[in-house]
A and B are shown apart, each in its own frame.
Chain A
Amino acid sequence: MYTQGLDQKESAGKRPVDAVEAAEQLQAFQARIDAEEKIEAKDWMPEAYRRTLIRQISQHAHSEIIGMQPEGNWLTRAPSLKRKAILLAKVQDEAGHGLYLYSAAETLGVSRDQMVADLLSGKAKYSSIFNYPTVSWADIGAIGWLVDGAAIMNQIPLCRCSYGPYARAMVRVCKEESFHQRQGFDIMLELSRGSPRQKAMAQDALNRWWWPSLMMFGPNDSESKHSAQSMAWKIKRFSNDELRQKFVDVTVPQADFLGLRMPDEALRFDADAGHYRFGEIDWQELFDVIAGNGPCNKQRLEKRQQAHDDGAWVREAAQAYANKAAAAAA
């Protein structure tokens, strides 16, 4: 309701008048990218660059908002007041990240209302990982450790993304994500050093979250349809497979430290390459979850829709009050 005016059908800036001018404009744009200049909201940009960013930033924002649900699921049951407060601060950060990211996307000429409508209609996607259930307290640890750990791998390079408003939003997001990752690891550490039941809870969570975390990096490079252009535009800096490998290399020793076992029989250290080699990812599972057939897709969207519908009368009242106040002031 606050941002309708932002919806634009046409891109901002001057439109090229002929093919030669268009080619020159495109070349000048790429030269700026190659020189590591930041592109700002009012600068000319190719329509495809704008669309790619809107898709990526809004998906990221939606993931933050939907991600509040699996973690919020344990807020009322967090096992100590300290853990409850930390988890609540984390969930609040996620709402905050959603807010900066929607704002960053709005600079590209799309309103938050439109983005939310696209989320609710199923047109826009969010990270597949949030379609898995949090069935035990250890899942909160696993999400922080693995999911936020994977997110950081993806997001740190985004702090250098060519689009200025996104890059700046990501600097703040990444600082907070790093705290989230540590709190997740800390939960896992406490559980893995706790009673046999607590340790079993931690192992069970790792078993369920490990593979979906690897899927968070997206399809293999050979299958990734947006990668090459995003790399050329410096929206993306590393390939899916590079980031996934980096995540595995960092995370396996952490599991060893926790005394937990990765649920992958094929996992081994390749001393020559200096990397952990891991088993085949079940891509069908990822495609199923993306297509809407994960364990919680329906539940997550229904809850978001419910909150949106339940809040309609409140938003309408706020708008009506603001209109009255504006009329009185005029």
Chain B
Amino acid sequence: MNAEQTLIDYTLRLADNALILGQRMVENVAAWPELEEELANANFALDFLGQARMLYSYAGELEGKGRSEDDFAYLRDEHEFRNVLLLEQPNGHFGDALVRQYLFEAAYVHILGALVECRDEQLSAIAARAIKEVQYHVRHTSKWLIRLGDGTELSQTRVQQSLHDVWRFTGELFAADDIDIAFQETFGGPDLSAVAALWRTDVAAVVSEATLVLPDDEWMATGGKQGRHSEHLGYLLAEMQYLPRSHAGATW
């Protein structure tokens, strides 16, 4: 794999993660428990959309085939998406969506931390901007996890179940493949085993303060980063992409 292709592939993974999580969060608009949380959810989703747009534009520039941010988002099929499986999982209730976001961002914040220092100037600049947003999100979601865990008996039961339900998707965040390794070697990208250690320390502390129990590491689902997805992604894409696909070549 040449360095250019590694950079494109790596950038698209980051972009797909941001878009798919953003899209899932957008599904929750006008359905959240309190007005303040509506604002937070929309605001965070906007951050992800903004990150996705910057990353897709950069990938298009690197690729040099004239593909726009929208070409990447709207005109690729399921197997071309490279987001982790965790993010395409359906929203469930507030606790499910919160846990999914927190577990991802608790890793993403360290990935961005490494990217800020990476040898690709543009990716480093995007990461420097994104990390400020993500640090804030993590503060917000970890506080909510603590509130729900240490809230009522019902909220504790529910959010504990949320943790169990998605735990099997967390392994993929740290399962380094050829692209991750090449990106680390060539561009000084994140060492995913180091990220995993930081993530585990952070998550264990929050889960403990939330009076919850860290699930056991059992079988971990992988494949999203290589384009092998769950059934859920197809529906998400069908809804998201239908308009540009049914009006080929139109501008909006």
Contacts and interface: CB of A to CB of B under 8 A. Distances in A.
Interface in B227-252: 239-240, 242-244, 247, 250-252
A314 B95 contact: yes
A137 interface: yes
A85 B252 CA distance: 13
Given A99-B39, A311-B32, A81 B52 contact: yes
B152 A197 contact: no
A314 to B, nearest CB: 4
Interface in B48-67: 49-50, 52-53, 56
Interface stretch (B1-9, B142-150, B216-224): B142-150
Contacts, number: 137
B29 A72 contact: yes
Given A76-B26, A81-B49, A88-B42, A65 B251 contact: no
A85 B31 contact: no
Interface residues of B, number: 48
Given A82-B53, A91-B42, A311 B35 contact: no
A85 B46 CA distance: 6
Nearest to B252: A79
Interface in B31-84: 31-36, 38-39, 42-43, 45-46, 49-50, 52-53, 56, 69-70, 73-74
Contact of A190 (B53, B147, B252): B252
A107 interface: no
B168 interface: no
Given A81-B53, A99-B36, A307 B31 contact: yes
A174 B146 CA distance: 38
Nearest to B19: A81
Task: Please report whether the interface of chain A is mostly helix, strand, loop or mixed according to DSSP.
Answer: helix
A88 B29 contact: yes
B39 A303 contact: no
A80 interface: yes
A205 B19 CA distance: 29
Interface string A297-330: 0000001001100111111111011001000000
Contacts of B56: 81
The range of chain A's interface size is: 35 or more
B161 interface: no
Contacts of A311: 32-34, 94
A95 B39 contact: yes
Contact of A92 (B46, B74, B242): B46
A76 B23 contact: yes
Interface of A: 65, 68-69, 72, 75-85, 88-89, 91-92, 95-96, 98-99, 102, 112, 137, 187, 190-191, 194-195, 197-198, 303, 306-307, 310-318, 320-321, 324
21 contacts: A75-B27, A76-B26, A80-B74, A81-B49, A84-B49, A85-B49, A91-B30, A91-B42, A95-B42, A137-B243, A190-B251, A190-B252, A194-B252, A307-B30, A310-B94, A312-B33, A314-B33, A317-B155, A318-B147, A321-B147, A324-B150
Interface of B: 19, 23, 26-27, 29-36, 38-39, 42-43, 45-46, 49-50, 52-53, 56, 69-70, 73-74, 93-95, 146-148, 150-152, 154-155, 158, 239-240, 242-244, 247, 250-252
Would you list the 4 A-B pairs with minimal beta carbon distance, nearest first? A311-B33, A317-B151, A317-B155, A92-B42
